Chains A and B, each alone.
Chain A
Amino acid sequence: MTRATLARLFAAIVVLTVVIAVPMTQIHWDGTQASSQADQIDTLLNVMIVLSSFVFAVVLVMLGYCIWKYRAKPGDESDGEPIHGNTKLEVAWTVIPTVIVLFGAIYSWIVLGDIETKAADALPVNVTAQQYKWTFNYPLPNGQSVSSNKLVVPSGRQLDLHLTSLDVIHSFWVPEWRIKRDLVPAGEGGNDIDNTVRVTPDRLGTYNVVCTELCGFGHATMRALVQVVPSDQFASWLAKQPRVKPQAGTATGSSTGSPSEYSNGSPTGGP
């Protein structure tokens, strides 16, 4: 291959990379950003889209070039050049992808650390799932709590969500927040399940909690309303809600399900 062909192929790869990457990064694939975590995750996604576009462009250009250039003429039954390999090239396409994916790993690790950092003033909310409904419980300083079937939260303050399931595995997801975590049923001792997830809503509006772990025939419609409101509005909403006295043994915040609730949910699940 001549130097000029090589340059033309490289140019084609660059052009195709730009053609794919520019529109792909302009579209907000993940939809509305409504948490302070969302922006970092979407930026990571966009960086990956650019790198992926390059890799995909390399494959498409080389494939297209070979089909165009080396397609056998009708009747040509001879063999191609007996090239068995090229050590330099093979080392290159081992090392370069390794560097790219390790960059991706370190970048992801940094983003993960950032989005999971706990804020000092985080608002604790206990989230309880059961077939097929959500319950949100706000512990109050005086030992009482507020229970609601919609998640009303103040804007701009980190939420410290404690997740519990009463029957099978469910999963808490608000697409606009980009945050998801399974709610795992656990017995005494909790089986070392990481049941805390943090997110900082920063955009006023109404969203949905979507259950994303198959939990039975009602899985598709297992949703709850999320309202992100200004913090003074949240305070007045909370003040207006009826108080519930927590039962013994549930004050730790890691579990909102009272013992009697456990026996209501069928431990084996199923319809």
Chain B
Amino acid sequence: MVAALKRPGLGRAALGGLLGFGFGYGLVVVLRLISGLPATQTAQTGYPQLIVGMITAAFGFLIGLGAFDYWFRWAAGAPTYPAELEHKAHGAHSWRDYFKFNTDHKVIGIQYICTTFVFFFIGGAMAMIMRTELAQPGTQIVEPGTFNSLFSAHAAIMIFVFVIPVFAGIANYVLPLMIGAPDMAFPRLNALSFWMLPIAGLLFVGSFLAPGGGFDAGWTGYAPLSTGAPLGQSFFNLGVQFAGASSVATALNFLVTIITMRAPGMNFWRLPLLVWANLSTSLLVVAATPFIAGVQFMVLFDRLLHTNFFQELNGGDVLSYQHIFWFYSHPAVYIMMLPGFGIVSEVISTHARKPIFGYRLMALALIGIIVLSYTVWAHHMFVSGMFAWLRIPMMITTLLIAVPTGIKIFSWLATLFGSKLHLRSTAMLFALGFIVTFTIGGISGVMLGMVPIDIHVSDTYFIVAHIHFVLFGGSVFTIFAGIYHWFPKMTGRMYDERLGRVHFWLTLVGMLGTFVPMHWIGMEGMPRRVADYSAQFGDWNLLISCFSFLLGAAQLIFLYNMIVSWKWGPLAGDNPWRARTIEWLVSSPPPIFNFDQIPRVVGGPYEYGVPGARHAILGPAEAEVGAAEPAVAGSAGTGPT
């Protein structure tokens, strides 16, 4: 028992969390007593003893887990780090390793994906409760205050601990393999990034236990509603810090990995589009995320330290919250979409057996989107009472961003043209479904970009419809495409395509049935974020709720398929889709250090149909000469130990 608590791991992490909380709580109490104040402070915007305790608990958890062990030794001047310890924390040798601090990008990728899907189902369950309440006008199962907490937590969980990090998880697994790297550039930082994520998720979910209930000012947390809200709001302010720090560290890691660790011959115009997409996303994350971290600190300081950033009666400026918030949160929409664009490019090219149409323009469109995405934030504020003229340039840039997005849609369609299209993979179904649903989301986005239309429909169910067409019909569809596409690579086993197809069609029908009518009731006059509504919308809401239950149930099929196939699915082989990118040249799952020899890249990633074309070659050069389809799979044995 004592020995277990001395070893890095979840046991020591729990102990560290407890000790950390005790330290922070005690520190505040002692300092307050020294200052002659009451030991604790329980004004609803206060609770400094809990806030500081939660911060120190998080660090105690990470220290206990072993996240800082190497750095502590190094900082203390310890000359070497025992090799057997180092390798113990790298690669999964049993299922237990997935519950430890591990520096292997493949383990971290799976940790990310599984953790974020846990939060996906928690956030989804909240949506089911909300749809049950909304099935009829009036109040049935949750009080309006609880309802406000539910939609706030639903959005925060889905955005900060599902969509953004699940893409980081998929890329974590796939990206180093794709560029022929043995791992990410900073494996320990990578592991630390992952372990900050459950902390953020626990804070969001745990806020429901706080006095006064969960945070209820929406995921947007507009001041001054948020600066005066009960304690739960502080959980949100803190959770965003951990999710944000995790995001920024991972983005830096991706940037350095992509720039410095490409295999010989992998120049930028030979990068698979998934790598391009994550390069662009990471550029957005490192520059934009500090803004939301900063603005949530400002709210926390207003609440706790009586600063006056957003206290209008003391000289603060309410609207500046929205400007800073959206300066992150609009680029965040692209942070949640660009990696999906990358996934769809991989899936479509592979299953259409064709090169991506206009590869270079596809890459440049990504860069166009990230540049424009920094100039559109105030389109969320057309009715906010901001400086009126600012609406015009923001409208123009908002509409222009449809152009690079349109380029991507048209290029995917052109990729299908003249192809040998295979629909046998669920991944391809989700990728093609994505083209339809995301186009609808893009169209409603263009309408919202027009100030006169936005004035009418902003803050209505039209917005709810639009955001879900973009984030569900867009991001989540691509996430499913990615999970199905790389499931055989990650697990070495094949999922059940029949269940996959059922999952796809139920998801598509449920999604359209849930979110299409929301446009209509929004335009007709139903505001969003309401627990109760005018009786005229009752029938539509009942229909929406029914479809949403179908949508929710369909995800259970996915869950069952993944779990059962991971354990009992038939062996998949190294390259079941006959794809060209490097991750398919190694075994499934890949060896611990990915490659015996660093691959050499000799051509573009999508040269389907080009006689004799190769993307990359594994193994000694002379062995490959003249071989049309060499048996490269067997060359990837176990990694160096």
B455 part of interface (Cβ distance < 8 Å) = yes
The one of B383, B402, B407, B608 in contact with A180, judged by C-beta atoms closer than 8 angstroms, is B383
Q: How far apart are the CA atoms of A181 and B458 in the complex, in Å?
A: 10
Contact B520 A29 (CB under 8 A): yes
Q: Mark B195-236, 1 if CB is under 8 A from A, else 0.
A: 000000000000000001000111000101101111000000
Q: Mark A55-98, 1 if CB is under 8 A from B, else 0.
A: 11001101100110011100011111111111001100110011
Q: Smallest CB–CB gap between A168 and chain B, Å?
A: 4
Q: How far apart are the CA atoms of A102 and B395 in the complex, in Å?
A: 10
Q: Smallest CB–CB gap between B234 and chain A, Å?
A: 12
Q: How far apart are the CA atoms of A82 and B420 in the complex, in Å?
A: 11
* Chain B 459-501 residues near chain A, CB threshold 8 A: 459-460
A249 part of interface (Cβ distance < 8 Å) = no
Q: How far apart are the CA atoms of A209 and B527 in the complex, in Å?
A: 11
Contact A220 B531 (CB under 8 A): yes
Contact A72 B353 (CB under 8 A): yes
Q: Chain B: which residue is nearest A103 at the CB level?
A: B399
Given contacts A180-B383, A270-B228, whether A212 and B459 have CB atoms under 8 Å apart is: yes
Q: Smallest CB–CB gap between B582 and chain A, Å?
A: 19
The one of B224, B354, B446 in contact with A169, judged by C-beta atoms closer than 8 angstroms, is B224
- Determine the chain A residues whose CB is within 8 A of the CB of B391 once the complex forms: 112
B598 part of interface (Cβ distance < 8 Å) = no
The one of B216, B407, B423, B610 in contact with A217, judged by C-beta atoms closer than 8 angstroms, is B216
Q: How far apart are the CA atoms of A173 and B533 in the complex, in Å?
A: 15
Q: Smallest CB–CB gap between B351 and chain A, Å?
A: 9
**Size of B's binding interface in residues, CB under 8 A:** 99
The one of A76, A83, A187, A271 in contact with B420, judged by C-beta atoms closer than 8 angstroms, is A76
Q: Chain A: which residue is nearest B146 at the CB level?
A: A217
Contact B455 A179 (CB under 8 A): yes
Q: How far apart are the CA atoms of A90 and B406 in the complex, in Å?
A: 11
Contact A79 B420 (CB under 8 A): yes
* Chain A 201-217 residues near chain B, CB threshold 8 A: 208, 210-217
Q: Most chain-A Cβ atoms within 10 A of its Cβ — which of B216, B388, B452? A: B452
Contact B407 A66 (CB under 8 A): no
Q: Mark B396-426, 1 if CB is under 8 A from A, else 0.
A: 1001101100110111011011111111000
B359 part of interface (Cβ distance < 8 Å) = yes
A184 part of interface (Cβ distance < 8 Å) = yes
Contact A41 B453 (CB under 8 A): yes
Given contacts A186-B312, A221-B532, whether A78 and B420 have CB atoms under 8 Å apart is: yes
Contact A84 B359 (CB under 8 A): yes
Q: Chain A: which residue is nearest B530 at the CB level?
A: A220
Q: Chain B: which residue is nearest A96 at the CB level?
A: B406
Given contacts A55-B443, A63-B416, A79-B609, whether A93 and B45 have CB atoms under 8 Å apart is: no
Q: How far apart are the CA atoms of A72 and B524 in the complex, in Å?
A: 45
Contact B392 A214 (CB under 8 A): no
B355 part of interface (Cβ distance < 8 Å) = yes
Q: Smallest CB–CB gap between B168 and chain A, Å?
A: 29
- Determine the chain A residues whose CB is within 8 A of the CB of B187 once the complex forms: none
The interface-forming segment of B34-42, B119-127, B175-183, B434-442 is B434-442
Q: Chain B: which residue is nearest A55 at the CB level?
A: B443
The one of A60, A169, A191, A212 in contact with B460, judged by C-beta atoms closer than 8 angstroms, is A212
Q: How far apart are the CA atoms of A83 and B247 in the complex, in Å?
A: 37
Given contacts A93-B406, A105-B396, A192-B387, whether A52 and B446 have CB atoms under 8 Å apart is: yes
Contact A191 B318 (CB under 8 A): yes
Given contacts A97-B403, A217-B216, A218-B144, whether A52 and B452 have CB atoms under 8 Å apart is: no
Q: How far apart are the CA atoms of A52 and B531 in the complex, in Å?
A: 32
Q: How many A-B residue pairs have CB under 8 A?
A: 290
* Chain A 170-201 residues near chain B, CB threshold 8 A: 171, 173, 175-176, 178-187, 191-195
Contact A184 B318 (CB under 8 A): yes
Give the interface residue-count category, chain A. 35 or more
Contact B520 A63 (CB under 8 A): no
Contact B607 A82 (CB under 8 A): yes
Q: Smallest CB–CB gap between B181 and chain A, Å?
A: 27
- Determine the chain B residues whose CB is within 8 A of the CB of A71 once the complex forms: 421-423
* Chain A 142-185 residues near chain B, CB threshold 8 A: 163, 167-169, 171, 173, 175-176, 178-185
B260 part of interface (Cβ distance < 8 Å) = no
Contact B387 A41 (CB under 8 A): no
B311 part of interface (Cβ distance < 8 Å) = yes
Contact B417 A66 (CB under 8 A): yes
Contact A213 B222 (CB under 8 A): yes
Given contacts A80-B419, A270-B229, whether A194 and B314 have CB atoms under 8 Å apart is: no
Q: How far apart are the CA atoms of A175 and B520 in the complex, in Å?
A: 13
B317 part of interface (Cβ distance < 8 Å) = yes
Given contacts A77-B578, A101-B446, whether A266 and B418 have CB atoms under 8 Å apart is: no
**30 A–B contacts from the bound complex (CB under 8 Å):** A29-B520, A29-B523, A41-B452, A52-B443, A55-B406, A55-B439, A63-B416, A66-B413, A70-B419, A79-B608, A80-B353, A81-B419, A83-B357, A85-B357, A85-B360, A86-B357, A86-B358, A98-B403, A101-B446, A109-B392, A163-B385, A167-B224, A178-B452, A180-B458, A187-B313, A191-B317, A193-B318, A218-B144, A220-B532, A267-B313
Can you name 17 extra interface pairs (CB under 8 A) apart from A85-B359, A168-B225? A41-B453, A44-B453, A70-B416, A70-B417, A70-B420, A76-B420, A80-B418, A97-B402, A98-B403, A102-B400, A105-B450, A109-B392, A169-B318, A185-B224, A210-B527, A214-B529, A268-B45
The 5 tightest CB contacts between A and B, nearest first, are A268-B228, A175-B525, A79-B609, A220-B530, A66-B416
